[in-house]
Copies of this chain bind each other. A is one copy, B any other.
Amino acid sequence: MSPEVARLGHVALETPDLDASLEFFRDAAGLEITERTGDTVYLRAVDEWDHHSMSLTEAEEPGIDHVGWQTAEPEHVGEYAEQFETQGLDVTWVDDDAEPGQGEAIRFDVPEGHRFELYGEMEKPDPPAERDSKLKNRVYDPSGDNPIAPNRIDHLQIWDPDGLGCAEWLQENLGFQVQEFWDDADGERWGTFLSACEVKIDLAVVQSTTETDDPAVHHVAYDVTSANDLFAAHDVMNELGFPTDGIGQHAISRGEFCYTRDPVSGHRIEFNTGSYLTLDPHWEPVAWQEGDLKDRQWIGAIESTERVRY
């Protein structure tokens, strides 16, 4: 049996001002801190049991350190390492708990340069006693102090100078499957929307607009429960003075969204809801072409193209 990726785990982000970024990610967006070690803070959403779905590290420049994915079994990490080394990729091992809460892991660069991490095990720390939910199937008490508090990390959008090549590499080497894709009028791939967990989009790979564009992350999406929560998120971000890019719905994924951005680091969060599950074991990728409901691509919002490099 070949190794498998089970799901998107976390994003490791860098910011020039850790405390200022926490005002955005914790105080406004409502992520919960599980641990703080040196210049890194580990956060998770209120419906996540695992140690972190995001880390923030103070650094000279905003950046992405890596994107973490959990394998289906712990031993798959070593199997992937072997596979990538055979291909000539540069694989770095990360010791058990070197990244707090996380088992042994490997890091490597997906062409054209997205730094991925594969790990098999992650601790599930209890929330502070006063925040522990009485419901045994819920992590944090919802009577807590944040009005947004998304449920869990949902997906990531990355930009790549060779988007199609990147997506194909992920299909062949990590077993990602294509949920949807979008081609322009010339038949050139603009975006490929991939699943690692097999039931929803976990990663969107978008063709960057200039060939010299570095690989970059456009946004990290966190799931919220309903369209009402998108308006609530927008309200809170406005009140706290954080920039937003509007509320709307994508045709691709059918996801309803509200985008917002940490002004200090430039990292963008999408609060999203309203998409579908692909429980079909033989899902046929949804093929969009330029002209198909083009005006629905980005409804009710001005597209914002700033993104953060690795």
Q: Which residues of A contact B (CB under 8 A)?
A: 1, 6-7, 28, 47, 49-50, 70-73, 133-138, 141-147, 151-152, 180, 197, 199-200, 225-228, 230-232, 234-236, 238-241, 244-249, 251-254, 256, 274, 276-277, 279-281, 286-288, 292-293, 295-296, 299-302
| Option from B247, B249, B277, B292 in Cβ contact (under 8 Å) with A199 | B277
**Residues on B with beta carbons closer than 8 Å to the beta carbon of A299:** 234, 244, 246-247
| 11 pairs from A and B in contact (CB 8 Å cutoff) | A7-B281, A49-B280, A135-B238, A136-B293, A137-B252, A142-B236, A143-B147, A197-B279, A231-B249, A235-B249, A247-B299
Further pairs besides A73-B281, A231-B256, A248-B300: 8, Cβ < 8 Å: A134-B293, A137-B180, A151-B276, A225-B228, A235-B249, A238-B293, A300-B300, A301-B301
> With the chains together, A20 CA to B281 CA distance in Å?
35
**Residues on B with beta carbons closer than 8 Å to the beta carbon of A279:** 6-7, 152, 197
> With the chains together, A28 CA to B236 CA distance in Å?
20
Q: Assuming A143-B236, A226-B225, A286-B137, is B281 touching A247 (CB within 8 A)?
A: no
**Contact in complex: A47, B276 (CB < 8 Å):** yes
Q: How far is the CB of A242 from chain B (nearest CB, A)?
A: 10
Q: How far is the CB of A73 from chain B (nearest CB, A)?
A: 7
**Residues on B with beta carbons closer than 8 Å to the beta carbon of A135:** 238-239, 251, 254, 293, 296
> With the chains together, A227 CA to B141 CA distance in Å?
20
| Option from B143, B147, B247 in Cβ contact (under 8 Å) with A240 | B143
| Option from B147, B248, B249, B287 in Cβ contact (under 8 Å) with A136 | B287
**Residues on B with beta carbons closer than 8 Å to the beta carbon of A288:** 136
Q: Closest chain B residue to A298 by CB distance? A: B246
Q: How far is the CB of A19 from chain B (nearest CB, A)?
A: 18
Q: How far is the CB of A147 from chain B (nearest CB, A)?
A: 6
